[in-house]
Structure 1
Amino acid sequence: MEKTIIDIETAAQTLKLLGDKTRLTIIGLISEGECCVCEFVEVLQMSQPSVSQHLRKLRDAGLVKENRKGQWIFYSLNQDHETYPIIQQILEQIPDQIEKLKALEQAGLRIQCD
C-alpha cells in the first residue's frame, strides 16, 4: 500500500482544529456514523450556536460532511479527506465517544430532530 504524503499546511490545519477538545469530541462522536446538531448539543452540554460554530470550522476544512434530511442537517466524518489517516490515528488514541451517544439513546434523547 502506497503511503500518501500530506501537505504540511493541511496537516497543521487539521491538527489545530482537532487540538480543540469540543471539535475532537465531535469527530469522535461521528467516527461511527452521522449525528444531528441537537445530539451534539445534548452530549456536549453547549448551546446550539456554539456547536454550530465548531461544526462550521470542521466543515469549512472539509473534515466533516453534511447530509440534509428535511429541515435537519446530519454530520459525518469525511473519510475521503486527505488528512483522514491522521484523524484515524488520533481517534485510536482517545477514549471511544460512542458511549456518550449510547447514554443519550438510553435517556431517550437520541435523534430528537423530528
Structure 2
Amino acid sequence: MSLTSADITRIASLARLELSPAEGERMRERINGFFAIVEQMRAVDTTGIEPLSHPTMAAAYQAAGRQAETAQAALRLREDRASEANQREANQRSAPAVERGLFLVPKVIE
C-alpha cells in the first residue's frame, strides 16, 4: 500500500492541517516508508509462534531455559522509592490558587 499526493492532501484536510507542497511530499515519503516496514513485518512467517503478554517475557523464557507456557516473566524493575525530597511547597509558590496542597483550576465543564 502506498499513498499518493492526493491522499496526503485529503488526510491533511480531514485533520485540519495546512501543508505546503514540500511538507506534503515529505509526509507522503515518511508514511509510505512506514507502510513498507509494515509490509516487511507482515511477510515474516509467524505460524506457531505464541504472542507474548510482555516484551520481557522472551528474555525470561530464554534465561530460564523453559518453554513459553511454563516460564514466568522476570521483570527487572528498580525499587519504587522516592529519589528526591518533597518540593511541593516550593513548586506551588507560583500557582495562582492552592488549597490543601492541590492546585486549584477554573471549572471548565458545566
Question: Which TM-score band (shorter chain)?
Answer: under 0.3
Higher strand proportion (structure 1 or 2): 1
Which has the larger helix fraction?
Answer: 1
- Flag the structure with larger Rg: 2
Using the size of structure 2 for normalisation, the TM-score is 0.25
Q: Which structure would you say has the larger RCO, counting Cα contacts within 8 Å and 6 or more residues apart? A: 1
